[in-house]
């Protein structure tokens, strides 16, 4: 039979030679392999003290972003809910009242915005669909475990970016997640 | 003063016993650590610094587990099994000389005190007798459990130990022929310089002996009595708590004893290369003699620890034998090889004086 690669090994049923039947050379070879591993660098990560570095583009817990002045970006257009393959996102839109311009950037906003973390598959399609750059999957934060079904549905109280990461000019930058920074970098370099 | 001799002897025996148990305890830790390192892991490292308190944690766990005896098990034998295993394991180390003699004339003991439980002239026979008793512990435990898997494991252990004991004793005979004594101390005395170590005089015998030692200790690749995939836990399937602990602990003591016997018979025991050189540097008299003896003890324990490591090293290298392979290897390869080794050794021993005569007459 023709082989697809040259990596396959040919197996034969020929009788073992005396040296092979003694097994001792093979055993000594095996001991050599194990002792090499004995002195190798260990791959263990000491978990609570030491954590595996996460990828820059890891898709973790969602965040609803605010803009530079601390206004919610989301305009409740529903594109994320449409894009979501797991149908995890639901929202109720409301109209911005006069005097609320410091709270919401657009005239329309999401009065209720919920993501069901049991349904979410963390694919990041909502991120792609959002025309207002409002929803992001943070690369440095995992969706925490939960103990009741009510805990699973994340409302605006747990999704919207907290104000203290916005207010001061200094923390404006630190308010960005690493995925933001990655996106910024990609946009600036123009290779998206 | 006889009372001082008695006391010194008692201290030495207690020390040997304590060190045996300590090494066996830390072998459990070393086993897990070596396993980890060979598999590119770190092994236990949470209990104490580098996980050094792990054996204590293990023992604590063992003691506080429920001590369960199955309803239809033979109660008395069920308890006797691990007790015999433990007892026979501990008995063996008493004839092994862990060092030369101590000169304690300062304490009023005019005779040199050997670092040995007792020097019997059939020491090696005693070791083999006790070791072969060890199989009763496994056998009784497996039988008393009233469980088919336990019984199968016990039967395997019994037939394996009996098969390999034959080859083991036959490989020893060649050494006894060379040294002309059954006393372990005499065999060690016979290997007083590096080139006279029995490993160089009896390489084939050593190979047979070490393979059989693996089989006797029920260590991989001969751990068929307790192979998890086929027999659940083998003979200790039904055991829990410290009874299980005793079985496992007995295995580690056996490993220590095997290491001691191998070092004594084939690696010069408490002798070490360059011994006469070191003896020249040391001061004359009792002081120098005692220091030399203690260096010998350290060398002996070094050899034993190396063999314990070797046991573990092999465990994580070689896969388990199939049962028919085990029997074939024992009966068809090792025993004939051991007999051939005896014949060749005998021939050489007979021929050597003749050759010497011939050479001197030329």
Look at residue A192 in the predicted model and tell me its pLDDT: 47
**Residues in Cβ contact with B308 at an 8 Å cutoff, skipping those fewer than 6 apart:** B23, B27, B30, B255, B256, B259
**Can you give the pLDDT at residue B307?**
92
| Interface residue B62 vs chain A (CB under 8 A) | no
CB contact under 8 A, A38 and B34: yes
Contact B41 A40 (CB under 8 A): no
pLDDT at residue A173 in the model = 42
Class of the A62-189 domain? alpha beta
Residue reference for tokens 């021939």: B347
> Which domain does B300 fall in, by range?
2-361
pLDDT in tens, B34-52: 999 999 888 888 888 888 8
Q: Residue B282: exposed, middle, or buried by beta-carbon count in 10 A (0-12, 13-18, 19+)? A: middle
Q: What is the mean pLDDT of chain A?
A: 81
Per-residue pLDDT at A114: 92
Mean pLDDT of B140-156: 86
What span, in angstroms and rounded, lies between the C-alpha atoms of B3 and A22?
Answer: 56
CA nearest to A27 within chain B: B318
Residues in B touching A44 (Cβ below 8 Å): 40-42
Domain ranges of chain A: 62-189
Q: What is the DSSP letter of A142?
A: P
Averaged over A71-88, what is the pLDDT? 91
Using the predicted structure, report yes or no on whether residue B162 has a pLDDT greater than 80.
Answer: yes
Instruction: Please spell the DSSP secondary structure of B32-61, one letter per residue.
Output: HHHHHHHTTS----SSSGGGTTHHHHHHHH
Provide DSSP, B242-288. Answer: HHHHHHHHHHHHHHHHHHHHHHHHHS-TT--TTHHHHHHHSPSHHHH
pLDDT above 90: residue A82: yes
State the nearest Cα–Cα gap between B146 and chain A, in angstroms.
Answer: 38
3-state secondary structure of B84: helix
d(CA B310, CA B205): 18
Whether the CA torsion B193, B194, B196, B199 is positive or negative: it is positive
List the single range of A15-19, B166-170, B296-300, B340-344 with lowest mean pLDDT: A15-19
pLDDT digits (tens, 9 = 90+) for B84-133: 888 888 888 888 888 877 777 777 777 777 777 777 888 888 888 888 88
Report the half-sphere exposure of A142 (CA within 13 A, side-chain side): 8
Separation in Å, CA B197 to CA B176, B190, B192, B201, B222: 13, 8, 8, 7, 27
Residue with tokens 């311009």: A101
Q: Name which of B38, B41, B313 to mutate to probe chain A: the one with the most chain A Cβ atoms within 10 A of its Cβ.
A: B38
For residue A163, pLDDT over 60 is answered with: yes
- B314 interaction partners in chain A (CB closer than 8 Å): 31
Residue percentage of chain B with pLDDT more than 70? 99
Phi (first) and psi of residue A109, to 5 degrees: -145, 170
* Residues of chain B found within 8 Å of residue A30, distances taken between Cβ atoms: 317-318
Residue written as tokens 């016990």?
A: B154
Rounded CA separation B177/B338 (Å): 13
Long-range contacts, B336-340 (Cβ 8 Å, 24+) = B337/B167, B337/B204, B337/B208, B338/B167, B338/B170, B338/B171, B338/B173, B338/B174, B338/B205, B338/B208, B339/B170
Residue B179 reports pLDDT greater than 70: yes
**How far is B148 from B238, CA to CA, in rounded Å?**
11
Inter-chain touch A31–B317, beta carbons under 8 Å: yes
Of chain A, the percentage scoring pLDDT greater than 70 comes to 84
Mean pLDDT of B136-158: 86
Do B149 and B230 meet the contact criterion of CB atoms below 8 Å apart?
Answer: no
Q: Which of B297, B298, B276, B279 is nearest to B288 (CA)?
A: B279
The pLDDT value given to residue A182: 57
- DSSP sequence for B96-149: S--S-EE--GGGT--S-EESSS---TTHHHHHHHHHHHHHHHHHHHHHHTT-HH
Please give, rounded to a whole number of angstroms, the shortest distance from the CA of B337 to a CA of chain A: 12
Q: Is B41 on the interface with A (CB under 8 A)?
A: yes
Query: pLDDT tens digit string along B320-360?
Result: 888 888 888 888 888 999 999 999 999 988 888 888 888 88
| E strand map for chain A | 62-64, 89-95, 108-116, 135-137, 153-154
Tell whether B314 lies on the interface with A, counting CB pairs under 8 A: yes
Residues near A166 by Cβ (< 8 Å), separated by ≥ 6?
A: A66, A68, A69, A70, A172, A175
* Three-class SS state of B362: coil
Say whether B313 and A31 touch across the interface (CB within 8 A).
yes
Inter-chain touch A38–B41, beta carbons under 8 Å: no
Of B38, B42, B318, the CB nearest to A38: B38
Count of domains forming chain B: 1
CB A64 within 8 A of CB A72: yes
- B39 near A CB under 8 A: yes
Residue A115: its pLDDT value, please? Answer: 92
Mean pLDDT of B133-138: 86
Please check whether residue B70 is in contact with residue B146, taking contact to mean a CB–CB distance below 8 angstroms: yes
B214-257 pLDDT, tens digit per residue, is: 888 888 788 777 776 677 777 888 888 888 888 888 888 888 98
Instruction: Select the residue from A21, A34, A41, A42 to test the B interface by mutation, using most B Cβ atoms within 10 A.
Output: A34
**Confidence category of residue A90, pLDDT binned at 50, 70, 90:** very high
- Residue B318 at interface with chain A, using a CB cutoff of 8 Å: yes
- % pLDDT > 90, chain B: 7
pTM of structure: 0.78
Check residues B284 and B342 and name the one with the higher pLDDT.
B342
Residue B232's contacts (CB-CB under 8 Å, 6 or more residues apart) are B149
Residue-level pLDDT at A169: 41
Query: 């003694």: which residue's tokens?
Result: A22
Residue B317 has its nearest CB partner, among A34, A41, A44, at A34
- For B36, the closest chain A residue by CA position comes to A38
């Amino acid at each position: 039979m023709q082989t697809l690669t040259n990596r396959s090994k040919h197996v034969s049923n020929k009788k073992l030679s005396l040296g092979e039947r003694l097994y001792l050379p093979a055993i000594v070879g095996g001991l050599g392999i194990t002792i090499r591993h004995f002195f190798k660098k260990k791959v263990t990560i000491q978990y609570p003290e030491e954590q595996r570095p996460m990828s820059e583009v890891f898709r973790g817990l969602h965040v609803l972003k605010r803009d530079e002045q601390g206004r919610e970006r989301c305009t409740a257009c529903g594109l994320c809910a449409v894009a979501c393959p797991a149908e995890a996102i639901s929202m109720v839109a409301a109209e911005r009242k006069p005097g609320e311009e410091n709270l919401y950037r657009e005239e329309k906003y999401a009065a209720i915005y919920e993501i069901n973390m049991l349904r979410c598959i963390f694919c990041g399609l909502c991120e792609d669909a959002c025309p207002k750059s409002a929803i992001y999957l943070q690369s440095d934060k995992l969706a925490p475990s939960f103990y009741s079904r009510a805990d699973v549905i994340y409302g605006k109280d747990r999704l919207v970016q907290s104000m203290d990461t916005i207010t001061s000019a200094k923390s404006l930058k630190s308010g960005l997640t690493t995925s933001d920074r990655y996106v910024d970098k990609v946009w600036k370099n123009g290779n998206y | 003063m006889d009372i001082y001799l008695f006391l010194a002897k008692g201290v030495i025996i207690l020390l040997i016993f304590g060190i045996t148990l300590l090494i066996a305890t830390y072998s459990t830790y070393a086993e897990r650590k070596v396993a980890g390192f060979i598999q590119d892991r770190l092994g236990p490292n949470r209990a104490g610094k580098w996980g050094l308190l792990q054996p204590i944690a293990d023992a604590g766990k063992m003691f506080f587990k429920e001590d369960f005896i199955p309803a239809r098990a033979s109660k008395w034998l069920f308890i006797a099994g691990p007790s015999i295993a433990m007892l026979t394991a501990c008995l063996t180390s008493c004839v092994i000389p862990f060092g030369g003699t101590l000169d304690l004339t300062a304490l009023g003991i005019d005779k040199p005190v050997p670092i040995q439980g007792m020097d019997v002239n059939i020491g090696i026979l005693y070791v083999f007798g006790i070791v072969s008793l060890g199989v009763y512990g496994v056998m009784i435990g497996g039988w008393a459990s009233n469980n088919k898997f336990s019984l199968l494991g016990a039967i395997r252990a019994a037939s394996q130990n009996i098969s390999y004991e034959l080859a083991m004793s036959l490989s020893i005979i060649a050494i006894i022929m060379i040294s002309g004594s059954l006393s372990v101390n005499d065999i060690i005395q016979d290997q007083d310089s590096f080139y006279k170590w029995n490993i160089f005089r009896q390489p084939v015998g050593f190979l047979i002996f070490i393979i059989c030692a693996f089989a006797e200790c029920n260590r991989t690749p001969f751990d068929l009595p307790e192979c998890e995939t086929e027999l659940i836990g083998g003979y200790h399937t039904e055991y829990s708590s410290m009874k299980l602990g005793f079985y496992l602990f007995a295995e580690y003591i056996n490993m220590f004893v095997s290491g001691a016997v191998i070092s004594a018979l084939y690696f010069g025991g408490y002798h070490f290369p360059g011994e006469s050189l070191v003896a020249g540097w040391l001061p004359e008299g009792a002081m120098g003699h005692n220091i030399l003896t203690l260096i010998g003890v350290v060398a002996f324990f070094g050899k034993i620890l190396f063999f314990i490591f070797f046991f573990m090293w092999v465990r994580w290298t070689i896969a388990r034998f199939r049962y028919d392979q085990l029997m074939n290897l024992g009966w068809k390869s090792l025993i004939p090889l051991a007999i051939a080794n005896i014949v060749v050794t005998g021939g050489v021993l007979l021929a050597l004086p003749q050759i010497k005569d011939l050479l001197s007459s030329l």
